[in-house]
Amino acid sequence: MSGTTTVPQYSHIVVVVEENHNYDEIIGNTVQAPFINSLAAGGALLANYTAITHPSQPNYFALYAGSTFGTTDDDAHSEPDPTLATILQAAGRSFIGYLEHPGTDFNHDPWVSFPEGRTVETGFGPATSYPTFGSLFPSGDYSSLPSVSFVIPSNFNDMHNGTIQTADSWLQTNLAAYAQWAVANNSLLVVTWDENDDESGRPVEHSNQIAAILYGAGVVPGTYTAAYNHYNMLSTILGAFGLTGPNNAATAAPIQVFAGQTISGTTTGPVVLSAANNPLVIASGGAISASGAGRDAIDGPAGTPWAIKNNGSVGSANAAGIVLQTGGAVSNASGASIAGGTTGIAIYGSAGSIINAGQITGGASNGILLAGSVTTFVYGVAAGTSNSVTNAAGGVISGHSNGVYIKSAGQVSNSGSIGAALSAGIDLGGGGSVTNNASAT
């Protein structure tokens, strides 16, 4: 299969910024930093990651806004948008900077130097310590987190004034539960440092080298030696939401440590999915087509809930467009198409979720068949979600037998068109609900 890896479409990303330590002071130091090293062992460790400059503040600017803006000090500054926060907000996403008070420096809070200022800031917690702050970092159920969070520990707990061991213990106490939740809930934890602490005697190729760790869903564990920096990290964070980074992050390549595949050319099906290409993205110019009896365009074998985002075309002349054997999520963008000579999309085993703004067609059977039972978790779908179909305005789902057939309980929300030549537009075999919005058919 041709293509490139892609950044997963995360629900939540939490970035923790530590202070002023060299890569080799942290990685391998299991006596003082056992928790951080456990994250490195279970996640993606970037072994050639560098800060941009010295001192602290321009590095925070780089990670937050994609540029140092020529800053060479930790003094007060006024810089222009766009930033991570404003780009997310403009796209209907959210950002919060969580600060542990007291004891953080303003030069560790980059947003205060931009027009949004402290409107995107709140305290970290617990609530009894910060009665004047708004919503604090949640505990246990992290589904209320914004799209992206920066967590800024106090100077005592971020290695600036305190010890490595103190910071490691603080991180374990406050973020270990989120790290494990992230793995099972389509989310990501990033731990990095603003800058290193000592350049003396270090080779040029390791100038300002710091540790950076990515831990969560879709991350392929291992040590990665490709060269990355704060601009690449910002590009990766915004890439998870289909957005382009500001300033230098606009041209910085996303970090490649994720399972996943992007198909941008023409591929002959069937494409049989494996863990290395989950999630699968078909780009706007990409196409997967299959012909011949029983040849689906895309097959997702049993044992894995699959995630597919289609921006191009997927089609099979004589079988199904997409068949997923153990649940999954399929997103079909505006202008994109999924067509099968039999069924457009068939999902078995566990619950399936379909979001359609393009066209889904089943030639001889159903446009969409969801035959799996309700599950507690599907990759890319919120916990507890059952079979669901969301058809956006402009979306078209059509079949010969049924437009949408859900064998067990399901929910359908329609703002476009759903229809069938022979039987029902929508058939819910196990009950559920249908919402047909204004101007939908």
DSSP 333-352: -TT-EEEESS-SEEE-SB-E
Tell me which of 101 and 384 has the higher pLDDT: 101
What pLDDT digit, counting tens, does each position of 98-127 carry? 999 877 788 899 999 999 999 999 999 765
**Res. 328: pLDDT tops 60:** yes
Give the separation between CA 179 and CA 214, rounded to whole angstroms: 10
Q: Are strands 44-50 and 209-216 parallel, antiparallel or unpaired?
A: antiparallel
Residue (of 231, 224, 209, 166) closest to 20 by Cα position: 209
Is residue 111 within 8 Å of residue 64, measured between CB atoms?
Answer: yes
Model-level pTM? Answer: 0.65
DSSP 100-147: -SSS--GGG-GGGGSTTGGGGEEE-S-GGG-TTS-SPPPSS-GGGS-S
- What is the mean predicted confidence (pLDDT) over 416-433? 92
> 240 burial class (0-12, 13-18, 19+ CB within 10 angstroms)?
buried
Q: What is the pLDDT of residue 44?
A: 96
> 29 burial class (0-12, 13-18, 19+ CB within 10 angstroms)?
middle
* Separation in Å, CA 253 to CA 32, 60, 199, 232: 33, 19, 26, 6
What pLDDT digit, counting tens, does each position of 7-58 carry? 887 899 999 999 989 999 999 999 999 999 999 999 999 999 999 999 999 9
Q: What is the pLDDT of residue 127?
A: 54
Tell me which of 103 and 90 has the higher pLDDT: 90
**Res. 4: pLDDT tops 60:** no
What pLDDT digit, counting tens, does each position of 270-304 carry? 999 887 677 788 888 889 999 999 999 999 999 88
Q: What is the mean pLDDT of the chain?
A: 89
**Res. 131: pLDDT tops 60:** no
Q: Nearest 5°: CA angle at 218, between 355 and 306?
A: 40
**Res. 182: pLDDT tops 70:** yes
Judged by average pLDDT, the poorest of 212-226, 244-258, 366-380 is 366-380
Q: What is the pLDDT of residue 103?
A: 75
- What is the mean predicted confidence (pLDDT) over 193-221? 82
Confidence of residue 97 (pLDDT cuts 50, 70, 90): very high
If you ran DSSP here, which 8-state letter would residue 59 be given?
Answer: H
**Res. 378: pLDDT tops 50:** no
Using only C-alpha atoms, what is the Rg of the chain? 24
Give the separation between CA 425 and CA 2, rounded to whole angstroms: 36
Is residue 332 within 8 Å of residue 312, measured between CB atoms?
Answer: no
Q: What is the distance of C-alpha 168 from the center of its chain? A: 25
If you ran DSSP here, which 8-state letter would residue 276 be given?
Answer: G
Q: What is the pLDDT of residue 126?
A: 65
- What is the mean predicted confidence (pLDDT) over 141-163? 94
